[in-house]
Chains A and B, each alone.
Chain A
Amino acid sequence: MAGIFTRLLGKFFRNLFKKKKQVKLGLYGPPNGGKTTLANKICKDWLGEEMGSVSNISHETREIQIKEEITIKSKGRELTFNLVDTPGIATKIDYEEFIKEGLKEKEAKSRAKEATKGVIDSIKWLDDMDVVIVVLDASKDPYTQVNITIIGNLEARDIPVLLVGNKVDLKKADIKKVQSAFPQYEVIGISAKYGNNLDDFYEALFRVTD
């Protein structure tokens, strides 16, 4: 309790003495949920350029990436934010998994080292977010402790959350399952890769940042 209070107090004072120019919108979730694919889609739609590289090998994003001053528009409204793409949060990282996925041993060990640092950075940055989009792979089990821990931390910090069930283009995707795992949140099903349902996603973004 004291820890949460200290963090909230810290955030309050930081915000008090810092002129907040834009909303910091964070993309959080487990690895390979499609955070960077979504970040790229948002940037492409509104800035005309992509943000970061994507890969089938997990932990492709190992550093915090920020794209500043993205303005989205809908029905006469405007929303400007700094988009923060974060490395996926995981409880385990095994360099041997990267070798199985095709990397050389040295490369795999280096990727694992960078990935562990990325997870730590993602967690550190939680305190700085104004709004968070939690990006989950809708074709996977939503009842994982990583998902629950991320959402629990955002709740404890009183940070508004938008839950996105990504990869609805996949046959195994089950948005109802994601919704039933987190009934207290609105879940928007999208395919960041193919741009499915992005209009609903942008509408939901306006609602959650209101």
Chain B
Amino acid sequence: MLTLQFVPHREIEGLDSIHRVNKLLKIVKEEKIILLEGRLKSHEETDLISKTMEEIDNKFKGIELSAINPESSETKDVWQKLRSMFINMVLGDRGGFTIIGPASIIKDIKKDPNKIQLFTEESPKR
């Protein structure tokens, strides 16, 4: 059985980067797939990868991660970019969503600008 846990942005917006990463990784290590509202900052993504590497052992193999932002920058004009920047400054990076899951369950995530596909293991390792 797959468990998908929705994490609204308000649950992480008050946390600093270290605590955000720790919170997300803790959920993933419980073998749940996170659907996070919004995106992590780019340095938080690398922090998440570094922390994941520290935690890898014979049981925990790492994570699969994918962020989707329907308002990708190349489709925007200057006004739309300014509007997005203002919204991000006020509300944080709430646009789009991020999927993070344990590599033992998610085999691969494929995406192109318009769709995202999750390939899971047939029988998750317990």
What residues make up the interface of A, taking CB atoms closer than 8 Å to B?
A: 1, 3-4, 7, 89-95, 109, 112, 116-117, 119-120, 123-124, 126, 141, 143, 145-146, 148-149, 152-153, 155-156, 183-184
Contact = CB atoms under 8 A, between A and B. Distances in A.
B49 A89 contact: yes
Contact of B50 (A92, A94, A119): A119
Contacts of A149: 42, 45-46, 49, 65
Interface stretch (B6-14, B29-37, B56-64, B76-84): B56-64
A117 B53 CA distance: 7
Interface of B: 17, 41-46, 49-50, 52-54, 56, 58, 61-67, 73-74, 103, 109-113
A8 B9 CA distance: 26
A109 B74 contact: no
B76 to A, nearest CB: 12
A94 B53 contact: no
A95 to B, nearest CB: 7
Contact of A91 (B41, B63, B67): B63
A124 to B, nearest CB: 8
Contacts of A155: 42
Contacts of A89: 49
